[in-house]
């Protein structure tokens, strides 16, 4: 199947970054953003920017009047996923492939409660440094997409690879994609949460041994839970997390840090919250993440 009609659900940093790049690099593709009816008119009258260039995005409502898409990419925040799954319903047909670029380890499971799991290609994105201010996003690189079919849908993998080639988006096909997703989860457990609690850019973690140690302590708990869960990670994988962080733009900020600074709800339930529950399940103590969870909940309760 050739992918030419693409829908993105989520107008955050990732959505704008990838949407702008697909429109520019693969103009033959038809790109639209799926939005709720309550946001449709506002978004159509809003100017979106990617690296200073105004974007001419198309928006479609939940009614699906334009027909089903070949590919639907979810880029919403964890707290908005359930609503996004519902809004995309009429855009997803029997041949639609589904990608989730959400952080965490459970978004595909959530999406799979509604849609055919054989059409869901498990994935994660890493190495990007998109920073969003209002409806303007700046980034120095797209990073890369790692993906793999949990149902061994090789035809879907091939179609997605061909699309990413045409869109000039770097990718890797992983046989053990859950290992990769857990690797990204551990990275986010470390850098997303600690950068947000310290309200700092990547530069602090690239220059301060104390900040790096705090990040490593949070990741070490997640690594131990992953091992107990049977995920095939090793200590070299954790070092790769640190190496990735050190290649990012020093001025860049994690999505969670941007949420804290903007007074938005964070994704701490998906990060520390999920890890605390898994720690209980597997008998692993996670004191650093328990502290972080309570600290963020205290900040959120303060508004």
Query: pLDDT tens digits for 64-112?
Result: 877 899 999 999 988 899 999 999 999 999 999 999 999 899 999 999 9
- Res 244: pLDDT: 84
Give the start-to-end residue ranges of the domains of the chain: 5-175, 178-302
- How high is the pLDDT of residue 264? 86
Label residue 199 exposed, middle or buried (CB < 10 Å: 0-12, 13-18, 19+).
exposed
- Judged against a pLDDT cut of 80, whether residue 113 lies above it is answered with yes
Sort 135 into a burial class: Cβ within 10 Å, 0-12 / 13-18 / 19+: middle
- Residue 138, pLDDT > 90, answer yes
CA distance 48 to 43: 9
The CATH class of 5-175 is alpha beta
pLDDT tens-place string over residues 199-247? 999 999 999 999 999 999 999 999 999 999 999 998 888 888 888 888 8
Question: pLDDT-derived band of residue 11, with 50, 70 and 90 as boundaries?
Answer: very high
Mean pLDDT of the chain: 94
Alpha-helical regions (H) of 88-151: 107-112
Instruction: Say what the pLDDT of residue 283 is.
Output: 98
Task: Give the integer Cα–Cα distance in Å for 88 and 72.
Answer: 8
- Distance, in Å, from the CA atom of 201 to the CA atom of 34, rounded to the nearest integer, reads 31
Report the percent of the chain where pLDDT is more than 70. 100
Per-residue pLDDT at 303: 66
Domain 178-302 has CATH 1.10.1040.10: yes
CB atoms within 10 A of CB 89: 13
Q: For the sheet with 97-100, list strands across it.
A: 59-60, 30-34, 5-9, 71-74, 97-100, 120-126, 144-148, 171-173
């Amino acid at each position: 199947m050739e992918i030419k009609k693409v829908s993105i659900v989520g107008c955050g940093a990732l959505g704008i970054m990838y949407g702008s790049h697909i429109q520019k690099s693969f103009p033959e593709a038809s790109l639209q953003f799926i939005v709720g009816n309550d946001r449709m008119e506002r978004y159509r009258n809003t100017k979106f920017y990617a690296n200073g260039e105004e974007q001419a995005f198309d928006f479609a409502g939940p009614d699906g009047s334009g027909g089903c898409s070949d590919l639907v990419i979810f880029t919403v925040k964890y707290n908005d996923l359930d609503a996004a799954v519902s809004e995309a319903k009429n855009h997803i047909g029997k041949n639609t492939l589904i990608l989730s670029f959400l952080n965490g380890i459970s978004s595909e499971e959530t999406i799979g409660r509604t849609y055919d799991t054989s059409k869901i290609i498990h994935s994660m994105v890493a190495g990007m440094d998109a920073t969003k201010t209002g409806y303007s996003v700046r980034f120095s690189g797209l990073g890369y997409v790692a993906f793999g079919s949990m149902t061994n849908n090789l035809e879907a993998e091939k179609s997605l690879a061909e699309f990413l080639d045409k869109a000039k988006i770097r990718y890797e096909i992983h046989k053990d994609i859950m290992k990769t997703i857990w690797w990204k989860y551990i990275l986010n457990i470390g850098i997303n949460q600690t950068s947000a609690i310290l309200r700092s850019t990547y530069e602090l973690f690239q220059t301060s041994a104390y900040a790096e140690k705090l990040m490593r302590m949070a990741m070490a708990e997640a690594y131990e839970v992953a091992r107990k869960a049977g995920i095939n990670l090793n200590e070299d994988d954790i070092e790769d997390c640190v190496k990735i962080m050190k290649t990012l733009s020093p001025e860049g900020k994690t999505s969670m840090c941007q949420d804290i600074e903007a007074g938005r709800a964070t994704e701490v339930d998906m990060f520390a919250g999920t890890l605390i529950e898994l720690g209980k399940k597997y008998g692993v103590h996670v004191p650093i993440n328990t502290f972080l969870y309570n600290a963020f909940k205290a900040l959120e309760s303060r508004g």
